[in-house]
Amino acid sequence: MSVVDLVVTGIGVVSPWGCEPAKLRLDGEPATGAEESWFDLTAELGARGYKYVPPAARYLLAAARRALADAGPVLAGVPEVRRGLALGTNSGIASVIDAMDETVNGPGADLLSPARAPYFSINTLAGRVAMEHGVKGWNLTLTSPRTAGLEALLAGTRAVRAGRSDLLLAGSAEAPLPVHAPGHERSEAGAAVLVLEPRATAVARGAAGYGACRTVAFFLPPHEAASTAAARTVTAAVARLLGEPAVLPAVIHLVTDPSPVGTALAARLQQLGARLDVVPAGAGTLQPVLHLVHGLARPGTVRLVVTASPDGACAMTLLQPDQPADQKRDFA
């Protein structure tokens, strides 16, 4: 596997927190966006062709369009078979599946909508974007609780470095959980997509990037989260990400909850000298990715975005902006 220096050249966001990456309002409790009043379907995708597309797919399509527009004419130089896509989601189709179950258990499967039926599979969210933008190299959907959005960056970067593609779209998409589902009150809605390409390619086409991202993922067994072994796991993950001696960034966003895993992870990072901005987690994968794109779009400060789920999944992404705060992005 060759070492390819990837840079983020495009960011697209649609969310109830805002749609401009540098101006996202991420303070306080996660917004649900359940009424979808914040999303203008016609403005984002057009008046036709998306009536029966589920909300998460609409959000993802809109964010991908925004990200590719932001990146400039990047697709023109990359054959379709050299494009890849990695998506993280937890509740992207939860309401769709819930409605299908209600139909099957009630009036019967014959009344399932032919237009909605394909979305029984979580992979169709990424597949819909792949069809629209000619992503024919590979596409992958990850569903690890809470961490899947950051893991999409990790998996996608590995695929590019392994030679499977020359362009990566990566991000997260969520839709509100059914009202009766556990965690509905913490539902997330929206999508965030990043365009990543080799730095040499971006320079050759005259694109100014936002910066680089590096991600590590690890697991803390919930029943042993406070153990010495778990502490060593966190320390080793920090060392893999930052090198040794590890110097933690001044800005660290920890998206988590008061579960044993989240509490133990916060304690260990503080023992390593971290000053944490602890962010209440939503029910899905979107919140960490929104903090990631918000950090990249506000250049000048190295940041660390960390997240953990009660199940033990953990991930950290280091953001290294390319530009000083007063430099304007532009394309040749």
Does residue 137 have a pLDDT over 60?
yes
Q: Which residues contact 257 (CB under 8 A, 6 or more apart)?
A: 280, 281, 310
d(CA 315, CA 293): 16
Most confident stretch, 16-20, 22-26, 148-152, 174-178:
148-152
pLDDT of res. 330: 45
Please give the pLDDT value at position 246: 82
- Residue 49: CB atoms within 10 A of its CB come to 8
Give the model confidence (pLDDT) of 159-205 as tens digits. Answer: 999 999 999 999 999 999 998 988 888 999 999 999 999 999 999 99
To the nearest whole number, what is the mean pLDDT of the chain?
Answer: 90
Q: What's the confidence (pLDDT) of residue 103?
A: 85
Confidence class of residue 258 from pLDDT cuts 50, 70 and 90?
very high
Q: Tokens 């901005």 appear where?
A: 277
What is the pLDDT at residue 101? 85
Percent of the chain scored above 90 by pLDDT?
73
Encoded amino acid at 125, one letter:
L
CATH 3.40.47.10: which residues of the chain? 6-204, 212-321
**Cβ neighbours of 114 (radius 10 Å):** 7
Task: Assign 121 a pLDDT band (cuts: 50, 70, 90).
Answer: confident
Which pLDDT does position 6 carry in this prediction? 94
pLDDT value for 34 = 47
Where is pLDDT greater, at 231 or 325?
231
Just give the CATH number of 212-321: 3.40.47.10
Q: What is the pLDDT confidence band of residue 109, given thresholds at 50, 70 and 90?
A: confident
**227: its two tokens:** 């153990």
Domain 6-204, CATH homologous superfamily name and number? Thiolase/Chalcone synthase (3.40.47.10)
Residue 262 has pLDDT above 50, yes or no: yes
Give me 255's structure tokens.
């998206």
Contact 160/6 with Cβ under 8 angstroms? yes
Rounded-to-integer distance, Cα 278 and Cα 12, Å: 24
**Assigned token pair, 268:** 């260990």
pLDDT in tens, 60-99: 999 999 999 999 999 999 999 999 999 999 999 988 888 8
Place of tokens 């950290």: 316
Give the DSSP H/E element, type plus range, for residue 70: helix 55-71
Picking from 99-113, 173-187, 246-260, which range would have the lowest pLDDT averaged per residue? 99-113
At residue 28, the pLDDT reads 55
